[in-house]
Structure formats: C-alpha cells, structure tokens
C-alpha cells in the first residue's frame, strides 16, 4: 500500500500502481469525469499513469491552469489527427498549449488552409473527439522513434529528435494519430466538448526566419459548450474595449502617416487625461522624497558608449543625428538612465545624502520593429514615468517597500484590484553571466523578496528571468475582464553605476559604489493609458475623466443659466462643459452617454428658478435634483475618496 497526500492534507492509502483517475473515482464519480491530469509530487503527469510510491497528489481539472494546459495540448493532437485525415501527407512541427488555447505548426507541402476551412476541420475534430479515443503513452527508443518518423517522412519531428536523449523519448497515440510528445495528456478525447479554431498565421520552424515557414493554426477547446460561448463573449467584450477604437471615439489620441508610425499625437482630451496622471504622480513623488529633473531629448554618442547601449543597440535604433561638426553624432535618447547618472555625478555624495531619487517624465525614442507596433501599447516615442534611486546596498529593501507603496496607491486610485508581483532572479545554474558581486546579488534578491512579503504581495518568483545587470520586480495586473498586463517595474542595476563610476563617500571615509534602482509605476504613460482605457472600457474614474460633467440646457432659453452653472462648478475645480446645440434633451443625453461623461446636469425652467441642477449619472440614470453646491461637494468628495496621497506618509 502507498500513502497519497491530498491538497487538504488528508492521507489516503491505495494499492501501488493506482492512477489519479482511480483515486478521483474513490472520492466521487463526478470528480473522476472532470480530471484532466494530475500533479504528483509537483510534476504534472497523465491522470492514467500508475503511482507506485508515497506521493502528494493534486487532481487537475478545468479550474486549474495546468489542467487547462493539458486539455489544450491534447486538443492540439486532436486537431493534428483531424488534419492528417483531411490533408494526407501533411507534416507536423510542434503543437503546444498556449495561454488561451493551442496551436499546431504544419507543413502543407505547398497547399494552404484558410479560415474558410475551419468548419470542416472543426467538424472532423468533433467527430474524432466523440470516439472517446484514449491518449496512450509509450516509451520508445531513439532508434525506433527515428525509424517511425523516417518512414512517415516527417523531417520536423526528426529534427526535434536530434536533440533528445535516448531513454527519455515518449510517443502519445490517440485514434490513428501518433506524435512525439513528452505529455501529459487528458485521459481520452471525449473530454473535449467544444472546439473553435481561431486563426491561421505563418510561423518559422523553430522561430528562425532562415527556416521554412509553416502554417500555424490556432484553436481553443472547452469542457462544456457554455464555456466556449463565454469565451467568445469575452473576445467581443475585449474588442469593444480596444483602446485603439476608444481612443479614436473619445478623441484621446490619433496617429498620422505623415508624422510617422508609432508616434502618437495626443488630442486635447487625451492630453488632459495624461496630464492629470502626471500631476498625480508628481505630487505623490514630491511627498515621498523624489526630486524632479529634466534632461534633453538627444545626447552625444559618448554617453551611450559609456552606458554600453551604443554597442548593443546602435544599428537597430534611430540613426545618429549629424552636425556641421565633422564626425560629431547625437542620438535620440532611448532611455533616461545615463542622463540621470550624469546628474548624480555632478557633485560628490556622502552616505548621509542617500538615497538620491531623481524623477523625470522623460520622453524616449526607440526604433521598434514595424510589425511590433500596436496602438499605444508599443510605440516608437513614449514618455516614461521614470526615476532612478541611487542608494546604499543596505537601503535597497526600504526603497523597494516605498516604491511598492507608490504603485499600490496608483492601483487603488485606478481601480486595479487584481495584481501579482513577478520577481525575476538570477539563474542559479549560471551565475557567471550576471554583472556585480555574488554577495550584492544575494542581498538584493533577498531585499526584494522581503519587501514584497512585508507588503503582503502575491508573488511569483522566476529564476533566470533577471536582466544581466540586476534582479527586478514587475507588477502584473488583471484588468476588468481578466486579461493580464505588465505595468509597474522596479529594477536593481549594478551595471550603470560601474560604467559611470558612480561613488559616494561612506562613514569609513572611503569611496563606495551606490546601487541604482530604476522604477516606473506606470511603465510608460502611453502603455498605461492604453491599459487603463481597456480596463475601464473608456469610463474613466471621476478624477481622471476629461470632462466630469456636461450641462444640458433643455432649450437655448436656458443657455445662460447653464453657463452660470458651469462657471460655479469651475470655481470648485470641476470640469464641466455646456452643450449649447439646438438639440432636444434626449439627443444631448444620448451623446453625453456615448461620450462617457460621468455626470449630466439637465437644466430648464424649474432648475433656473430654484438654482438647482437635475443630475443624471452615466450608465445609471436620473439621480434627482440638487443644489449646485451639493453637486460640487458630491463630486469633490468622490474624487478625494479615490486619490489620497497623504496615505503615503
């Protein structure tokens, strides 16, 4: 007998050789039907594999990330089986699960597949799924595996086999399809109940553009038809929230072919929104010991030679700006850090002065690949809410805590409730590729982890994801419809202080090298505004909305009163416009609702006589009549409850 420990800590005894499915059945039939794979001693395996020694077991279902991945990976095999029946002679690359679904890369030998073929493929997949074919795992020798794919004529699988060790090779077979695969897979194809192929795209074999281009077919599957419906609904919702669409509709920003790709033009309303974000962060930073600096948009080549960026990015960047001076070259600044290093260097520092926190809303230019540009999330000119903190090694933790507080304050003000901190550390197997002493790295890594713990962050630690110059913490937020975005970042840098020979004088009267911390709570204003638009679907928090209220006179007889109301509100720092058009109230309300103005103030004869406004809230409707002062108080208290910088002190 063996002991199986379940996630709740309970221990059950089973015969050796029991499978996860057997165990699930012993708990309930329903659970057994839902099991997709199993995590045994931390490793995800087929739910149908035997367990022969004491183990901890977690049964994975659709509700587990890994369960979904298993399902989608198996779905890729199912699609491959369908494709092989429909397109005999087709060759297969790789077919993994991805964040939302799966894909398979195929070589059609000159043929083609388009989205018009999807219904046929989907129908075939459904037919095959219903056969309830089991996914059967077999261990094969490398020689046998090579023989199998040589006979089949699948050069891609043979290419993959080259890099595999004999003795670790497994095949999975379901129905008539056999694939080289590590697994794991779901018990049988019948668990796949809903299938949707999403799109086709070209993709190079092994991601290398020198290799042949394969056809990549994306799909997604579900354990219930309703889950597919929900997913399609979510996609539609995402489309409605697309910041590129809303940015145009709400007149926030545009792009112009003449100005250039990836160079956004901020319209008055977008600028108002952005400036408000900037003011907010500036006030918060002023309260937490930052000083603002301003540096030019271009810099001499030498700056980037010193920083090392010239060697690394020179040829792939905007090319140098020349001057009448022979051989002189300037570059558009791609980051603010080297400039800030020069500011730090401008005078000697004592250990007592540290940390020095230099902040700048610095606009930078990077020549991103044309195919990579996307709305405001990936542009060629953008403004970072950048700051560099120069501190002693023993201050790293405290500085991290402070930056975390700043980021959390912003998340609160913008209603991001769901976030995790991703901590990127060194690859412990390969410490040599990182710059800086082992001791400092250890300290810094520990400081970051402790800072995150102290603030109760949910963290995910990624080994080997650190930059060569230091470990970092990135905030991953989930938006209102569950999509993940990377926003704020905090990074330790041991490289630039070295290259710029930054120093401070310690208590021992000797020179020491400060630690540099890069941080950007928003990341960039462009990207942040894009995420914000998609998060709130264009319905901005009241403190940010370009217009907080619009006053709607019933007829032009009341335009004067409307203007008076607008002026009174302006005195209370409320942004309110008047809709003076000769339209009916219904039309004005409709337009105001569509442009997502938070409050509409309808004014007519009654209001003019009583000195009041009839308040209507966006998306909610009529709130009744109140005095102008009451309304102003209501707005201001609502705003204050959202942004409260004093919390930081």
Catalytic site residue 366? yes
Distance CA 621, CA 515 (A): 54
SS3 523: coil
Q: Give the CA distances from residue 427 to residues 213, 228, 242, 376, 450, in Å, rounded to whole numbers and listed in that order.
A: 32, 39, 37, 33, 19
Hey, what are 361's tokens? Answer: 């809303």
Distance CA 312, CA 317 (A): 10
Nearest to 473 by CA among 567, 552, 401: 401
| Residue 556 lies near RNA (rule: CB under 7 A) | yes
**Among positions 187, 247, 262, 497, the unique one binding RNA when judged by CB under 7 A:** 262
Catalytic residue among 91, 137, 366, 380: 366
Neighbours of 3 (CB within 10 A): 12
Cβ at position 364, least distance to RNA in Å: 8
Please, how many CA atoms are within 13 Å of residue 35, restricted to the half-sphere of its CB?
A: 28
| Residue 368 lies near RNA (rule: CB under 7 A) | yes
Q: Which is nearer to RNA, 257 or 326 (CB)?
A: 257
Q: Which is nearer to RNA, 272 or 585 (CB)?
A: 585
Of residues 529 through 548, those in contact with RNA by CB under 7 A are none
Catalytic residue among 384, 393, 422, 548: 384
Catalytic residue among 58, 472, 512, 527: 472
Report which DSSP code applies to 308. Answer: S
Give, to the nearest 10 degrees, the angle between helix 396-413 and helix 438-454.
40
SS3 212: coil
Q: Is the peptide bond before 184 cis (omega within 30 degrees of 0)?
A: yes
Catalytic site residue 386? yes
Cβ at position 382, least distance to RNA in Å: 11
Q: Which is nearer to RNA, 43 or 116 (CB)?
A: 116
Give one DSSP letter per residue of 279-307, joined into a string.
HHHHHHHHHTT-EE----SEEEHHHHHHH
Distance CA 370, CA 261 (A): 8
Q: Which is nearer to RNA, 147 or 201 (CB)?
A: 201
Given the rule CB under 7 A, which of 43-51, 132-140, 176-184, 575-583 is the region that contacts RNA? 575-583
Catalytic residue among 154, 386, 479, 579: 386
| Residue 203 lies near RNA (rule: CB under 7 A) | yes
**Among positions 279, 560, 605, 647, the unique one binding RNA when judged by CB under 7 A:** 605
Distance CA 332, CA 301 (A): 10
Given the rule CB under 7 A, which of 142-150, 414-422, 582-590, 631-639 is the region that contacts RNA? 582-590
Q: Identify whether the C-beta of residue 381 lies closer than 8 Å to the C-beta of residue 367.
A: no
Distance CA 152, CA 142 (A): 15
**Among positions 342, 398, 450, 583, the unique one binding RNA when judged by CB under 7 A:** 583
**Among positions 139, 372, 442, 573, the unique one binding RNA when judged by CB under 7 A:** 372
**Among positions 584, 640, 641, 644, the unique one binding RNA when judged by CB under 7 A:** 584
Catalytic residue among 105, 185, 191, 337: 337
Cα three-residue angle 7-10-14, rounded to 5 degrees? 100
Given the rule CB under 7 A, which of 66-74, 137-145, 184-192, 200-208 is the region that contacts RNA? 200-208
| Residue 334 lies near RNA (rule: CB under 7 A) | yes
| Residue 402 lies near RNA (rule: CB under 7 A) | no
Buried b (16+ CB within 10 A) or exposed e, 300-319: ebebbebbebbeebeeebee
**Among positions 33, 244, 300, 443, the unique one binding RNA when judged by CB under 7 A:** 244
Cβ at position 36, least distance to RNA in Å: 24
Distance CA 406, CA 360 (A): 16
Residues designated catalytic: 337, 366, 384, 386, 388, 472, 518
Which stretches of the chain bind RNA, using CB under 7 A?
Answer: 199, 201-204, 207, 209, 213, 216, 244, 248, 255, 257, 260-262, 309, 312-313, 316-317, 334-335, 337, 366-375, 378, 467, 554-557, 581-587, 589-590, 593-594, 600, 602-607, 614, 616, 619, 621-622
């Amino acid at each position: 007998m063996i002991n199986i420990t379940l996630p709740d800590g309970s221990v059950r005894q089973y015969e050796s050789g029991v499978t996860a499915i057997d165990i699930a059945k012993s708990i309930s039939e329903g659970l057994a039907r839902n099991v997709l794979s199993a995590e045994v001693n931390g490793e995800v395996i087929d739910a149908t594999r035997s367990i022969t020694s004491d183990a901890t077991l977690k049964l994975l279902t659709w509700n587990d990330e890994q369960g979904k991945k298993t399902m989608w990976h198996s779905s890729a095999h199912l699609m491959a089986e369908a494709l092989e029946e429909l397109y005999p002679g087709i060759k297969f690359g790789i077919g993994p699960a991805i964040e939302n679904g799966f894909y398979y890369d195929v070589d059609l030998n000159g043929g083609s597949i388009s989205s018009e073929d999807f219904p046929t493929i989907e129908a075939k997949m459904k037919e095959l799924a219903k056969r309830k074919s089991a996914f059967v795992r077999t261990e094969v020798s490398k020689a046998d595996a090579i023989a199998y794919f040589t006979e089949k004529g699948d050069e891609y699988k043979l290419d993959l086999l080259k890099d595999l060790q004999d003795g670790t090779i497994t095949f999975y077979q379901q129905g008539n399809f056999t694939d080289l695969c590590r697994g794991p897979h779901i018990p049988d194809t019948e668990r796949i109940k809903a299938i949707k192929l999403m799109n086709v795209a070209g993709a190079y074999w092994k991601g290398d553009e020198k290799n042949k281009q394969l056809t990549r077919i994306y799909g997604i599957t579900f354990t219930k038809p309703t889950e597919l419906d929900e997913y399609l609904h979510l996609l539609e919702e995402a489309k409605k929230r697309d910041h590129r669409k809303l940015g145009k509709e709400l007149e926030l920003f545009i792009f112009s072919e003449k100005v250039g790709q990836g160079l956004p033009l901020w319209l008055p309303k977008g600028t108002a929104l952005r400036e408000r974000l900037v003011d907010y962060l500036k006030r918060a930073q002023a309260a937490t010991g930052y000083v603002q600096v301003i540096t030019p948009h271009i810099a001499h080549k030498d700056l980037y030679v010193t920083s090392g960026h010239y060697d690394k990015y020179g040829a792939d960047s905007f090319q140098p700006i020349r001057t009448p001076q022979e051989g002189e070259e300037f570059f558009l600044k791609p980051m603010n850090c080297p400039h800030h290093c020069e500011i730090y260097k401008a005078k000697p520092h004592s250990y007592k002065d540290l940390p020095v926190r230099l902040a700048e809303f610095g606009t930078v230019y990077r020549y991103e690949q044309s195919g990579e540009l996307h709305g405001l999330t990936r542009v060629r000119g953008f403004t970072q809410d950048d700051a560099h903190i120069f501190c002693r090694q023993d201050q790293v933790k405290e500085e991290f805590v402070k930056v975390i507080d700043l980021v959390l304050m912003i998340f609160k003000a913008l209603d991001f409730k769901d976030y995790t901190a991703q901590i990127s550390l060194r690859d412990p197997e390969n410490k040599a590729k990182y710059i800086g002493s082992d001791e400092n790295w250890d300290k810094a890594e520990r400081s970051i982890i402790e800072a995150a713990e102290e603030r109760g962050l949910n963290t995910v630690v990624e080994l080997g994801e650190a930059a060569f110059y230091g470990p970092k913490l990135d905030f991953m937020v989930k938006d209102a419809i569950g999509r993940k975005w990377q926003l704020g970042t905090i990074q330790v840098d041991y490289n630039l202080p070295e290259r710029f020979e930054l120093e401070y004088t310690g208590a021992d009267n000797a020179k020491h090298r400060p630690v540099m911390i890069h941080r950007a709570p928003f990341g960039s204003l462009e990207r942040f505004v894009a995420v914000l638009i998609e998060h709130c679907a264009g319905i901005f928090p009241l403190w940010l909305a370009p217009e907080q209220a619009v006053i709607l006179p019933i007829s032009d007889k009341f335009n004067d009163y409307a203007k008076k109301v607008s002026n009174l509100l302006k005195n209370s720092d409320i942004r309110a416009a008047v809709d003076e058009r000769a339209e009916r109230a219904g039309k004005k309300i409709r337009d105001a609702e569509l442009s997502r103005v938070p409050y509409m103030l309808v004014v007519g004869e009654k209001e003019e006589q009583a000195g009041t406004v009839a308040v209507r809230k966006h998306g909610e409707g009529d709130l009744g009549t109140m005095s102008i002062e009451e309304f102003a108080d209501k707005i201001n208290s609502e705003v204050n409850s959202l942004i409260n910088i004093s919390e930081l002190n």
